[in-house]
Every structure is written in C-alpha cells, then in structure tokens.
Amino acid sequence: MSLEQCQLDAERQWIEEWDSGPVYLRWTEVPLQSGDRAPAAQVIDFERRAVNLSQLWAEGAALVLFWRHFGCGCGLDRIKRLKQEIARYGELGASVTIVGQGDPELAAEYRRKYDLPVPILSDPSRDAFRAYGVLEGRPEQILYDASEEMLRRDAQAGRSFAAERKAMGRPPVNSPWQLPAEFVVDGTGVVQLAYRYQYCEDFPDARVITSVLERLA
C-alpha cells in the first residue's frame, strides 16, 4: 500500500473513531504490572515482517514506548525529551523502541520526518496495546484544554480540528483516544516499570526510568 493511501485511511479512521468515541476505558482484569512477565505480543516492522516483542529484551533491558498517534502534538514533546534521555539509557545497557498504532509506512515516514533515533514497530490492530493494558482516554484526558464542542465530541468540531491540523502538516490519524504508556522490561522478560499515562502529556520523569535501569545494571 502506498504512503498516500495509508495516510488517507488513517485520517479516515480518526474521524470514524472520533464519532464513535473511546471504548477501551477500563480493565476487566488486573492489568500487567511490575513483576509480571511481559507479553510476547507480535507486531510488524517497516517491511511488514512479524516481530515478537520478546526480541527487544533478548540481549538486555528494554524501554518500550507505546505511542499515541503519529499526528499528536504530545508525541513531538516526548520526542524532544527522548532525544535528551536516550544516551543515558544506552549507557545503562537498555534498548529503546516505540510501538505505534499506525501502519508501517506511516511509522517509517514519522521516524524520518522527526529524525527519531529509535526504531518504530507497528501494531495496527492494537493487540499489543491491549496485551499491555494500555487504555483509551476520555475526551477530558486527551482534550482537557479544548473547546466545549471538542470535549463533547461534536462531529463538526472534530472535522474542523482535523482540517486545521492537516493544514499545519500534522493531520490527526488512527485512534484519537489512545493513551500512551512506557514499560521497562529486564533481560529475563520481567516488567520492572509499568507507566501508563493518565492524560496525553503525562510524561514520566526520566529519573524514574533511569533509576530502574541503574538498579538492573
């Protein structure tokens, strides 16, 4: 599939899920937490080859970031911070990988556009997101600084927002409601940190991640 078609499909999905609203808002069982074995969920790489997440920590600790979507402004802020943090994570022996909900073509373009120093794997079905208990958010978690029309999921407001962001070169894509999360998994496949965002800019303090990696090192 071409990058252009993937982009159009992802923009269409955003509108559809804007209209339908968030669904996965609560856990039906205890979610993955520190001390649990990390699920060996399957995702795909830029070439659409299957990748088992367990490969990420086969040679040591791994920081796995579950991304919101590839048009989200919060993600750009996280990229800036990640570029400042990643050298220290590497010194402590940890690999860093992003798992996104977009198709591989969108993931590859996002990595190129923002010069990301880490690989991006794709989970279009969001099965890995679910396996790791990464919830969707309500409008007030995603759009807390937005207009009343946006907070009540007004259809026209959503379309206007999408059009404005597209004109800025950053169209919203895939699910509007997906929250991010970050997990540190040790070399034996055990989760050492499970950090799920409560809102889209709820970035973890780098010192928390670093301290976990220092303990493992």
pLDDT tens string 190-211: 999 999 999 999 999 999 999 9
Asked if residue 145 has pLDDT above 80, the reply is: yes
Q: Are 64 and 52 a contacting pair, CB within 8 Å?
A: no
- What pTM did the predictor assign? 0.96
Token pair 């923009």 in the structure block, residue: 11
138-167 mean pLDDT: 94
Asked if residue 92 has pLDDT above 90, the reply is: yes
Asked if residue 88 has pLDDT above 90, the reply is: yes
Counting every residue, how long is the chain?
217
Q: In angstroms, rounded to a whole number, what is the distance separating the alpha carbons of residues 179 and 139?
A: 11
Q: What is the CATH number of domain 3-22+31-216?
A: 3.40.30.10
* List of long-range contacts for 20-29, beta carbons under 8 Å, 24+ apart: 21/153, 21/177, 22/136, 22/137, 22/138, 22/139, 22/177, 23/136, 23/177, 24/130, 24/135, 24/136, 25/135, 25/136, 25/137, 25/138, 26/135, 27/133, 27/135
Low-confidence winner among 48-62, 142-156, 173-187 (lowest mean pLDDT): 142-156
- The HSE-up count of residue 111 (CA atoms within 13 Å, CB side) is 19
Q: In angstroms, rounded to a whole number, what is the distance separating the alpha carbons of residues 153 and 4?
A: 27
Smallest CA-to-CA distance from 66 within 57, 75, 58 is with 75
Q: Are 35 and 128 a contacting pair, CB within 8 Å?
A: no
Domain ranges of the chain: 3-22+31-216
7-13 mean pLDDT: 97
28-47 mean pLDDT: 97
Note the pLDDT of residue 1.
77
pLDDT digits over 40-59, tens only?
999 999 999 999 999 999 99
Residue 38's pLDDT band (boundaries 50, 70, 90)?
very high
3-22 mean pLDDT: 97
Asked if residue 144 has pLDDT above 90, the reply is: no
- Helices 3-20 and 104-113 sit at what angle, rounded to 10 degrees? 100
Asked if residue 146 has pLDDT above 90, the reply is: no
Q: Are 70 and 102 a contacting pair, CB within 8 Å?
A: yes
Asked if residue 125 has pLDDT above 80, the reply is: yes
Percent of the chain with pLDDT over 90: 97
